[in-house]
Structure 1
Amino acid sequence: MTFQLLSRTVQKKIWDMEWRGLTPIQEAAIPVILEGRHALLMAGTASGKTEAAFLPVLSALDSSGQTGLGLDGVKVLYLSPLRALINDQFERVERLTDTLDIPLVKWHGDVSRSKKMSWLEDPKGILQITPESLESLLVNRIDDLARVLERVEYVIIDELHAFLEGDRGLQVQSLLARMRRYMRQEPVMIGLSATVGDPAQGQAFLHTEDPEAVAVVNPGDVKRQIFLQAEFFEKEKAGLPPALVRDLYDLTKDQKAILFCNSRGQVEELTHRLNELGRELGGPLYKPRYFPHHSSIDKGEREWIEEEMKTTKTPLSVVCTNTLELGIDVGTLDLVVQVDATYSVSALKQRLGRSGRREGQDSYLMMYATETEELVQAVAVTELLFDKWIEPAVPRREVYDLLFHQVLGMCTERSGLYQEDLLTEIAAHPVFAGLPASRVRELLAYMLEEDWLEVVEGRCILGVQGEQLVRSRDFYAVFQSPALYKVMHGLRLVGTVEANPLVQKGESLLLAGAMWEITDLDEQRGIVYVTPSFEGKKPIWLSGSRYLHPKIADKMYEVYTGTDDLDYLSPRAWERLQAARAVAAELGWERERRVIREGSRSVTVFDFAGTRRQNALARLLRGWFREQELRLTVKQTAFAVVIEGGDIEKGIGKKAVTAVGEILARGQEEKYLLMGRGMEPEKPAATKFAQYLPRHLQLMIEDEIERDVEGLREWIGGRKWKVER
């Protein structure tokens, strides 16, 4: 029996907490981790993954006498993508450790410096930390690194899927490689996730040298019924349609629910509209039941609503962006609502997993769409979820910006490195090993030339520019954060709003579920002063680009051209889908062929190729038109490329697409991509640290992030086309 494998102290702790038994993931994970094996733990939200990792780890420490007076140094390093998740998990882990006398410390930007310095005097136990704080620790606490890291035996990475794709994940892999030089032994690597699309990618992340050494522990999700419905209400110019707000209010007013939106502005609008409707129907005794939660709301207010959701016994709902998508505990829920389609299957699975947390409880998800395209996308994402498909991670390869960042960090951490030693470490580094040695040398030469680095007594140390960048507070995070204004009502910090010209004195905005008028703006200090107002509108946040996976785009085309009856659509949503399919039929769309529609002044290529493949297609078309000296422009919508201009002629669409296919088949894409670039406006650097690189490296990074040429090569080669007029 698995329970008997745990130490007596841990067994007693489980009895004291009155657990009914171990969950499937705990039953499966405990023997693996107690054997000292690396492990990827895959299970749904609220399945007990955290305890599945910590129970055997704590038991192993207890059995070997590494608790209380026998504890010597930091034994467990727990990495999390969110400060809020660390705060939440701190309480859960503390309940397990309080009788074992194992210190537990959280280390991130919200923890006071005095607490951190006090812990550093005698570092031991379990360290919970974010990647950014770990970077800061490596750069700023050089003299303490060996004492903190040398005795680490376990590294636990929570929400691993959040790191598999994106710059933060590459940073984490680099940090893990840098840390190992201080450790006396190879730590046991444990990853936790509910939505890893390809377990092999998780294994490679946890143990690059030998991925197969990582045991995949996946007992399967607990069987539960999923009740899902999709509804449709037409979007209005003024915002969300009143009928949707009323329907949503009637659905949730007596429930405990999370309402997910795709933008902070929509969160604020929906929260305000729902509470206004509540006041209208409930009169002066109405108390707000809907509260907003997103990254621009003050941390204290976010933590308050998280605690209210966790402890309340009365109907209460939180309206949020993806801030509550990951594993922050908000207690059991009656319902999850999604307003407009998610951009990924992974996000939908995470959000669906927030309900049905109690044993034997079913999951309930209500989806609303406000545009036809949103409805079709919601159906496509849902169908892929039913097919058990999740987006695989696609890590970047042209990571010169991250190399620039990590070289500065490594040279600071090591108080300088001989250039050949630095090149040797880069060549063996799991993130940078695939970069051509010639380009790595070129980048180091550039950094020396531009005073990011300088050579003193043969060692590369920070130059003047490098010193300024590393010592700035903005150095530790590799993701780009917009400039923000603090929004103050008297002495109260309401939250933040992105700094842009639309934020002006006299303007009104919605923030933290309330209406405000801007009374003053201190641009130098970055503060917006507000007072309560009776009129408000959504504050304007500048949103980044959304990239749609080609599998979702292709599934949407299948939905448009299909005939399947979807029983989770409401009568209104079904009627709208049927109307959309009728329009698709009129346009000549067929499942097995993509359509090129020729008009008198434009040609529309309905590609449904996915964002990055379409970007590559558009760039290559521009390059080919330029070579052919054709006066044609290329515009893009989410699922189509539109060709316009004075040289429109019959058959130009098919001819152009065929030409792109031939360019890719011949391997001449670089020439045409370069020509196509000249017909586009110049963009800012694609990533935070790319701006410091030579221009040609910036362009390589931009091309990889925005365009999938290899994917387009495969896609266009197997595509059949038809021309409609």
Structure 2
Amino acid sequence: MTTYELLSEPIRKYIRDKRWDSFRPIQEAAIQRITSTDNNYILISRTASGKTEAAFLPILSKVNFKESGVKVLYISPLIALINDQFLRIEQLCNYLDISVTKWHGEASKSKKEQLLKNPNGILLITPESIEAMFCNKPHNVVQLFSLLEYIVIDEIHNFLGSDRGLQLQSLIHRLQQKSSKKVSVVGLSATVSDANQYVELKSFFGNPDHTKVIRDTTPKPINADFRYFDSNSTELPLDLLKDLYKETRDCKALVFPNARGRVEEVAVKLKKISDKVGGHQNYFSHHSAVDKETREYVEFFAKNTNQQNFTISCTSTLELGIDIGNVDKVVQIDATHSIASLIQRIGRSGRRVGKDSNLVLYSTDSWSFLQSLASWLLYQENFIEPVFISDKPYDVLLHQILSIVKSSSGIEIEKLYLQVSNNPAFLKISKNEVLSLINHLIGLDFLEKIGNEIILGIDAEPLVNSKDFYSLFKTDTFLKVVNSGNKIGELPLSPQLIVNENVFLSARIWKIIDVDFKSKKVEVIPTNDGKKPLFFGNSADVASKIREKMFEVLTSKTDYDFIDENSRFALFELQKEFSFLKIENLKKQRPVLIKEKSKIFYTFSSSKVNRTISFLLTLNKIENRIDESSSSIELINESFSVDDFTNILKNIEKKEIEKQLQMLLAFEKGQEMLDFSKWAIYLPLEMQIDLIKTKYFDFNEVKNFGETNMFVKYK
């Protein structure tokens, strides 16, 4: 039987009406397998390769939607992606007379109520809305999902290795327990290429033996172009902006800087250049702080314009699969923090069949260029950062315990333990640890024990009843920005928000005329007074493999013919600085630059390793500072020797580290180490220390680093 014949007649009609000549490789493989088994599947294929249809064509052909209840649950990391996919899935479902419903904070209330009265069809939702449903409408969870058969997780890589991902893993298990049918899960991803990650992906679904990976390895031609413009300023060089304007003026382009402030700077300044030379007006900014209606207009414009060119300067909000039509070119300004992110961004261009992807990578300093080059080389080697999944996510467990108790309105301790101990997210946490955490929460008045049962405690109620409870990720505090009563967007709470300062927002420059911190509102007016606007930036951790590749490039004599002359000169200058090192083993040796009053250790390792080394040095009363751009640690103590440094790394005593962390956590400054987690502040001290050691630091890797790395000195 052909793949086409495996599909139901309504789906075959949809395909005929779309005039498809053939299926994409991922669709061909997925249809064959999903229609014939009830396994879980992970579909891995590049962006715009038809993964959504690969999942839904066989599922819609297989499931009996005449039965009551929601049959398919689609989970997305973004509301915008749900809104985008809703139209796509609804068009497909019209052929089968299946209803499709959106369920999130911005979705129609009447549509939700209609679904509750008559549960059916397909539901599109975020993890946070599932959490809210468990907490506030536990009876509706059973009503909606008691006959659930499929869960489809879009952009699954976006969840892996995060607290939000562990929350989703827990919620999937809880949903599966509510259904009387076997619930199969299909995950969609564009950025998993390392077979070693398949084990972690399969474990995510809780049933590794019945989870299969289908991967389309069809390569996509990519034209990459490196440009270098040195900058000693916080603003982008004018020559770079002029070059960027020429590069993007006659096409449809996405520009990815690495911070919201930079996004706005690009949009504003490109528009100014275009105005001067009589170019088009279609320059936009797109990030989470831009007003929702403005973002949706930008998406609509990009998707529906055929003749007009445009340039959208954006953050990761357009990195995922939101459909904005055909993009001719993607531009990256300075290095991405991860190769996974680079892959997503590359995939935004060349989506039309037969079209190459076009990528331009700008750099504004030599180390950023080196990181961009290293990332590109690793991308060509099909490397993607391994996902770190915590064995003992105590903070997520705490959150889920409160959620389960809230949804049950009282539960026996043993039943609560059984619920969490069978949950794939918490399999490595022992019974004693679970019971210890429950007793700790009772001691905090987060839980209250009544006989054999526990209920929500008085001090937990304000937290659990808040909308902020449903999400596991931490968000900045934002102030609404308005002009004459019209909302422009949002800006993060910052001491920089001062009256008469200028800010970039929504591709314009505004002057702050009033800041009301109590009502969280900033009043602005348009301005062109020439005053430099405030710059809001951000940073992210970088993996060891990227740093190691940077070191390899530094010590290599390879001529990279795809970089421009400025890039080649910047690389030559860096290589010259390290050229007289006697490096015989790139894995085991690292350089030390000896200056008059300091020593600089180039670790060429991950952000976590650098952070851990810096912490250990501080404990030994050695003043130091990290330069993440060059992956180096400067020791501001001329009497400190290389041997001293090596001994500190080798002699990491577990008890001493825990003692020092315990002392630090007693102070407010030490509590800042817990900022990576939303719920860690409520954990027992020993669990806080364990989380810090595994999520914030990496003592095991640093100990290995100290034992295997010799330091080669140079002046």
TM-score by length of 1: 0.93
1:325 positional shift: 0.7
In the alignment, which residue of structure 2 is the partner of 1:317? 311
Supply the distance in 1 between the matched residues of 2:112 and 2:362 (Cα, whole angstroms): 45
Give SS of 1:74's match.
coil
> d(CA) in 1 for partners of 2:304 and 2:381?
36
Whether the 8 Å CA contact 1:245–1:274 is kept in 2: the answer is yes
Q: Find the counterpart in structure 2 of residue 25 from structure 1.
A: 26
Q: Is the 8 A contact 2:102 2:124 kept in 1?
A: yes
- Report matched runs for 1:493-642 at 5 Å: 493-535=487-529, 537-541=532-536, 543=538, 545-585=539-579, 592=586, 593-623=589-619, 625=620, 632-638=622-628, 639-642=631-634
Matching of residue 211 in structure 1 with residue 208 in structure 2 = yes
Aligned residues: 701
Using the alignment, how far apart are the partners of 1:406 and 1:521 within structure 2?
Answer: 38
Instruction: Give the match for residue 252 of structure 2.
Output: 256
* 2:440 is equivalent to residue 446 of structure 1: yes
SS of match in other structure, 1:475: helix
Query: Does the aligned pair in 2 maintain the 1:615–1:707 contact within 8 Å?
Result: yes
Where do 1:678-697 residues align within 5 Å? 681-684=669-672, 685-686=674-675, 687-697=677-687
Q: Which residue of 1 aligns with 2:3?
A: 2
Query: Does residue 650 of structure 2 align to residue 662 of structure 1?
Result: yes
Render the CA deviation track for 1:637-685: whole Å, top value 9, x for unaligned. Answer: 221222223xx43xx4321233135325xxx244246448868952423
Say which of 287, 290, 294 aligns to 1:294.
Answer: 287
- Work out the CA distance in 1 between the residues paired with 2:351 and 2:166: 32
Please give the residue correspondences for 1:468-507 in structure 2 after superposition, counting only pairs within 5 Å.
Answer: 468-507=462-501
Displacement of 1:157 after TM fit?
Answer: 0.6
Letter in 1 for 2:25: P
Secondary structure of 2:385's counterpart equals coil
Q: Secondary structure at the match of 1:215?
A: strand
Residues 38 and 215 in structure 1, CA contact (< 8 A), matched pair in contact too? yes
Q: What SS does structure 2 have at the residue aligned with 1:474?
A: helix
In the TM superposition, residue 199 of structure 1 has moved relative to its aligned partner by 4.8
Aligned to 1:391: 385
Post-superposition CA distance 1:559-606 (Å, at most 9, x none): 111111111101111111111111222577666321223344222221
Return the offset for 1:407: 0.6
> How far does the alpha carbon of each residue in 1:129-183 deviate from its partner, in whole angstroms, 9 at most, with x for none?
0011110011111221111111110010110111111111000011011112211
Distance verdict in 2 for CA 1:538–1:206, change over 3 Å: farther
The percentage of aligned residue pairs carrying the same residue is 34
CA contact (8 A) 1:485 1:497 kept: yes
Deviating more after overlay: 557-566 vs 702-711: 702-711
Match of 2:656 in 1: 671
The answer to whether the 8 Å contact 1:598/1:653 transfers is: no
Deviation at 1:427, TM superposition (A): 2.4
Could you tell me which amino acid in structure 1 is paired with residue 707 of structure 2? G
Q: Which amino acid aligns with 1:294?
A: H
Letter in 1 for 2:31: I
Q: Please name the residue that 2:419 is paired with.
A: 425
Per-residue CA distance 1:418-449 (angstroms, 9 max, x = gap): 11221232222211221233332222111111
Alpha-carbon offset, residue 315 of structure 1: 1.0
| 5+ residue gaps, structure 2 | none
Alignment partners' CA distance in 2, 1:224 and 1:259: 20
Return the letter of the residue paired with 1:337. V
Contact 2:664-2:670 at 8 Å conserved across structures: no
- Equivalent of 1:89, from 85, 90, 100? 85
Aligned match for 1:411, one of 402, 405, 415: 405
RMSD over aligned CA atoms reads: 2.0
Q: Please give the alpha-carbon distance, in whole angstroms, between the structure 2 residues aligned to 1:569 and 1:10.
A: 47
Give the match for residue 46 of structure 1: 48
- Using the TM superposition, give the Cα deviation of residue 236 of structure 1 relative to its aligned residue in structure 2, in angstroms: 3.7
In 2, Cα distance between equivalents of 1:148 and 1:215: 27
Distance in 2, Cα, partners of 1:353 & 1:532: 36
Quickly say closer, same or farther: Cα 1:184–1:563, change in 2 above 3 A: same
> 1 CA distance for matches of 2:23 and 2:60?
16
1:374 aligns with 2:357: no
Most deviating of 450-459 and 566-575: 450-459
What residue number does 2:62 align with? 60
The residue aligned with 2:120 is 124
AA in 1 matched with 2:635: I
Correspondence for 2:181:
185
Deviation, structure 1 residue 274: 0.4
Which residue in the other structure is 1:307 paired with? 300
Find the residue that maps to 1:434 and give its secondary structure: coil
* Contact 1:71–1:102 (CA under 8 A) maintained in structure 2: no
Please state how far the C-alpha of 1:540 moved relative to its aligned partner.
Answer: 4.5
What does residue 724 of structure 1 align with? Answer: 714
How far apart in 1 are the matches of 2:214 and 2:317? 27
The 1:486/1:603 distance shift into structure 2, 3 A limit, reads same
Find the residue that maps to 1:617 and give its secondary structure.
helix
2:145 maps to 1:149: yes
Give the TM-score normalised by structure 2.
0.94
Q: 1:144 to 1:209 in 2, by over 3 A?
A: closer
**Unaligned ranges ≥5, structure 1:** 627-631
Q: Which residue of 2 aligns with 1:714?
A: 704
Query: Bigger CA drift: 701-710 or 145-154?
Result: 701-710
Q: Which amino acid aligns with 2:207?
A: D
Contact 2:625 2:635 in 1 (8 A): yes
Identify the match of residue 700 of structure 1 among 679, 682, 690: 690
Give the whole-Å Cα distance in 1 for the aligned partners of 2:592 and 2:220: 44
2:649–2:705: 8 Å Cα contact kept in structure 1? no
